[in-house]
Chain A
Amino acid sequence: MENFFTRYTDSSAVFPSFLIVQHNCLGRWDVFLSLFHSFTMLPDPPLLVAIQDPPSRRSVLPTFPGFMSFPPPPPGRPRVAIYVSRTLNQHLSCSTVFHDSSEMLSVDVFSPEGLFGSPHRSLRVTSVYLLRTNRPPYRSILPERAFSFLSYPHLVLGDFNLHHPLADPCRSLSEREFVISTRYFDAAFDVPYHVLNTPGVYTRFPFDTISRPSVLDLAFANTALFPLVSSWDTPLPSTGSDHLPCVITLKPPAIMLRPPTPHWALLDLRAVGKALESSTTLPCPPQPTPKSLSRWFDISSTRLTSLQTSHAPSKRPCPRSKPWWSPRLSSLRREYHKFARISRLDPSPLNWSNVKSSRRTYAKAIASAKKTHWSDFLSSGTPRSLWTAKRFAFGRPPQRFSDLRGASDPAEIAETLLDQFFPSKPPPPPLLCLTRYEDYTPITSEEVSRALSKSSNTSAPGPDHIPYSVWKSVHRINPPFFLPF
């Protein structure tokens, strides 16, 4: 069961940082209100708020201006809830994912452009509330259900009611606490998920002074999300609950990953045609201003290009990228990792020497495989392999952008090049209104076909990354996408 709201823009441009807040409200209204009012103390308003034990009346969640509430499916009192900021909902598409439990709820955020410039188009945030039970695993949600494998970024956060030395190294644990929590942490590490909590930073301060403070509010990020996590912190003041609100900040990684190149040859044209037919039309504003007309054009063209991009699978690394790889290397790698694992569990000198010898064998095998492959390659040269041979012989060309007229920062270098090649001109007078010329001759599809027929399929595409071949096919199948103007 999913609700869809579709608005498409570049997420990294709209949201330079993405704040997610998690808190246990103890089912109290005053805690809920204090939490939402304290968001003014944050540098940016949070876009998602994951709440455990939210206050509710007859299973209906409280509302707060600027947020939309998502409860788990009825019946029963909601034990978790996710509040999505209306700003987020306006710019990106959000859908709720239910897990047949009132203690677990997910929200998927979807951006066709890729979140934060990363190749991933989706982000899932799961709010969980692990209640104590009498039967194994002694908590209300199975570890395998909480930490499922997802190929896209996934954040699992909530009140886990678990004590584990990784999150709380100073605590002396009972054996039972350790056994229960290890099962969950092992399930998380198998997938793998990473703990975001700073070890030793308490998130729960009990009301009675006899009990110890502890770390019960945990956040886990899977490998796809981990590079995007900027910080985990508890900067907000107490809200009246015995838990502290946790704030997780997601930011674009320092090294931007290139979005995956779509494999245009495998574009599913039939699906594109169907999707265009079933998508909603967007009429052009009747008396547009320059701003509204360009906004209409941007939304329509982005919708069209994102449809095309989403129906083409991404290009995968080619098997020829490591042509020297062999099954023997795979078995050597497996052996090395096996010894390394054994040595981590039992760090004895014998195991360590096994690790060292297997690592040496593996590294030597790689070096000799590369050497043999490249010497064979050079001895059996063909005219087609000439440029690969040249690149191999001369290596990569040196970086020539280290210094350019005193500019060393990439942004400064880009600015210098822009100044040189495109000197700034005085801006033209701003257009305030547009007049519609009734005597204009509309563009016919034959004119577009003629323009497309002269264009090369292999011509390099611009910022939209869509080559002429795709436009030709889309133009040929003729989906009735827009209202005729």
Chain B
Amino acid sequence: MEVCTPHQPSLLPSLLNPLLAHGFHPPSLKEALGIVLDKPGKPSYNSPSSFRVIVLFGTLSKILERVVASRLSAQAAICSLIHPLQCGSLPRRSTADAALVVQHNVESFHRLGYRVSTLFLDVKGGFDNVESPSLPSLLHQKGVMTLR
């Protein structure tokens, strides 16, 4: 048995490590509090689509998710899984960077004498439709080492 010293905080890691070691997310961490807000200016509030739900997960669940997410993003950087121009959901990248890239491309084509048109696409529900069973093997193929 190890001896815990004041310089080695062990409370949260020792609570979360067994979950990670067995690759298991307990059902209690999937429980959430939903707060229903009404979208302003709707003519009728008889349909559920006039509302928006804000879902609050437990703090422990969010800490675990954050730790795993930071590990995954580190792996993604190592395996260069992310497109160099990806700006969303990445640290130290902002919308201004994305706008700058678009502006740069438009102006460089203008200088070459081309006409430029831009097409914006919005993928709805992208994360909801990820096939979770095949995701781990796909990531493994791409060279992600330890997901757990």
Contacts and interface: CB of A to CB of B under 8 A. Distances in A.
Contacts of B18: 284, 288, 293, 296-297, 485
Interface string A469-485: 00100111011111111
B1 to A, nearest CB: 7
A475 B32 contact: no
Given A404-B48, A420-B49, A463-B31, A482 B15 contact: yes
By size class, the interface of chain B is 35 or more
Nearest to B11: A481
Contacts of B66: 451, 454-455
B28 A297 contact: yes
Interface stretch (B53-61, B76-84, B105-113, B135-143): B53-61
Contact of A485 (B21, B24, B70): B21
A294 B27 contact: yes
Contacts of B17: 442-443, 485
Given A297-B18, A420-B49, A464-B58, A442 B33 contact: no
A411 B39 CA distance: 21
B20 A440 contact: yes
A325 interface: no
Contacts of A375: none
B13 interface: yes
Instruction: Classify chain A's interface size.
Output: 35 or more
Given A443-B16, A475-B11, A483-B14, A462 B59 contact: yes
Nearest to A478: B9
B13 A437 contact: no
B107 to A, nearest CB: 36
A298 B146 contact: no
Contacts of A416: 48
A435 B24 CA distance: 10
Given A301-B15, A451-B70, A461-B56, A434 B22 contact: yes
B49 A463 contact: no
A403 interface: yes
A293 B22 contact: yes
A473 to B, nearest CB: 11
B148 interface: yes
Contact of B13 (A300, A404, A443, A474): A443
Contact of A462 (B20, B57, B70, B71): B57
Given A462-B56, A462-B61, A441 B11 contact: no
Contacts of A276: 11
B53 to A, nearest CB: 5
Interface in B64-111: 66-67, 70-71
A304 interface: yes
Contact of A420 (B27, B33, B48): B48
A417 interface: yes
A462 B32 contact: yes
A452 interface: yes
A405 B67 contact: no
Nearest to A439: B146
A7 to B, nearest CB: 17
A304 B45 CA distance: 41
A437 B22 contact: yes
Nearest to A295: B26
Given A297-B15, A482-B11, A467 B4 contact: no
Contacts of A461: 56, 58-59
Nearest to A444: B13
Contacts of B70: 447, 450-451
A300 B71 CA distance: 25
A290 interface: yes
Contact of B2 (A421, A437, A460, A484): A484
Interface of B: 1-2, 4, 6, 8-24, 26-29, 31-34, 36, 38, 45-49, 51, 53, 56-63, 66-67, 70-71, 146, 148
18 contacts: A290-B24, A301-B60, A304-B11, A400-B45, A417-B36, A420-B49, A435-B22, A437-B23, A442-B13, A445-B13, A449-B9, A462-B57, A463-B33, A474-B11, A475-B12, A478-B10, A481-B14, A484-B14
What 5 A-B pairs are tightest by C-beta distance, nearest first?
A420-B48, A480-B4, A294-B26, A451-B66, A478-B9
Given A404-B45, A445-B10, A460-B56, 12 more contacts: A276-B11, A290-B24, A293-B18, A293-B26, A455-B63, A462-B33, A471-B60, A478-B8, A482-B15, A484-B1, A485-B17, A485-B21
